[in-house]
Structure 1
């Protein structure tokens, strides 16, 4: 039975997205910036975009929910080779003192167009975002 499972072909989707920039610094009490997401594959991609609070020097997975920074749109469907420019805005009224850091999380969600035996992967890009005074 194990040999039958090992012999069963399983495909992994190679669809991808590209994100730029890969590190965002917003100087001089700036309040907004942009992130570009491009679908690099031959199929449409659904992406979810979020911003979470993060402390530099800590594990990039050690994040917390925040409403101090928002991203728009929070979700989009991209056609092959389509590019999306998402707007990131700091909504917190209190001025930045020193440095305030976050992570922009961009998830490529698995599509329904894959066949039943494909391995469906969620791909995450985690981009550091820091506002400075």
Structure 2
């Protein structure tokens, strides 16, 4: 069954890609690292939850298998990974190691690709009785990647920029064996004029998936013969790209 987040926080290594539900300044819950990768030889990896606030924090940790179909993220509860411990209580200044444990074999076989999960970390409301106004909690969603056996194949991306009615759509397909994290996108015209598309994290494209994003700049910001500049998995990349009337 498709899982829909009521409050969604996308956490990545890029701080600009962090969105928080509620008043994040009121919470002391911190997570590090914000992305976990298990090599094929690893059965487990860890991350730390810490409380930098002045109040006790209660948190719940759950795991979902992550796929992308029909240009949408799909999250399904899974036992492919188990989390220990799944519930934590942190006093001010405390921290807790959370272990992410793989229960089965890593992806294998011809053309095996990286597998992906999402770790949902929810701060639970505590002591809200008698308090006035809305009580906010914090939600993190951390990507977890499982590398396949054999040689790792990086992302292989196909780009398309096209119109959909009055909207401009960026479509990216990944024919490689591992994910692509897209961030800090700009379009540079032949005259050198730069248009910022998205300053922070745009999103991910998993192996074998195609994703689409509606862009804010108007069609006039994408003259023919321009170049798309983006950070892909933290490295700058350039792609020649022109606006078309139909997706390829």
Instruction: Give me the TM-score of the superposition, normalised by structure 1.
Output: 0.80
Contact 2:65–2:117 (8 Å) recurs in 1: yes
Contact 1:16–1:108 (8 Å) recurs in 2: no
Name the structure, 1 or 2, with higher relative contact order (CA <8 Å, separation 6+): 1
The structure whose Rg is larger is 2
Provide, for residues 34-87 of structure 1, a one-character-per-residue CA deviation record: whole Å limited to 9, x for no partner: 010001210000000111111269655x31100110001110110011101011
Once the two structures are TM-superposed, the CA of residue 118 in structure 1 deviates from its matched residue by 3.7
C-alpha separation in 2, matches of 1:82 and 1:88: 20
Number of residue pairs aligned between Structure 1 and Structure 2? 120
Q: 2:102 maps to what in 1?
A: 90
128 and 66 in structure 1: CA distance in 2 versus 1, 3 angstrom threshold: same
C-alpha separation in 2, matches of 1:42 and 1:49: 21
Q: 2:116 maps to what in 1?
A: 101
Q: Give runs of ≥4 in structure 1 deviating > 3 Å.
A: 56-60
Q: 2:146 maps to what in 1?
A: 131
What is the RMSD computed on CA atoms of the aligned residues?
A: 2.1
**Alignment partner of 2:27 out of 5, 15, 20:** 15
Contact 1:56–1:101 (8 Å) recurs in 2: no
C-alpha separation in 2, matches of 1:28 and 1:91: 12
Instruction: Give me the TM-score of the superposition, normalised by structure 2.
Output: 0.45
130 and 36 in structure 1: CA distance in 2 versus 1, 3 angstrom threshold: same
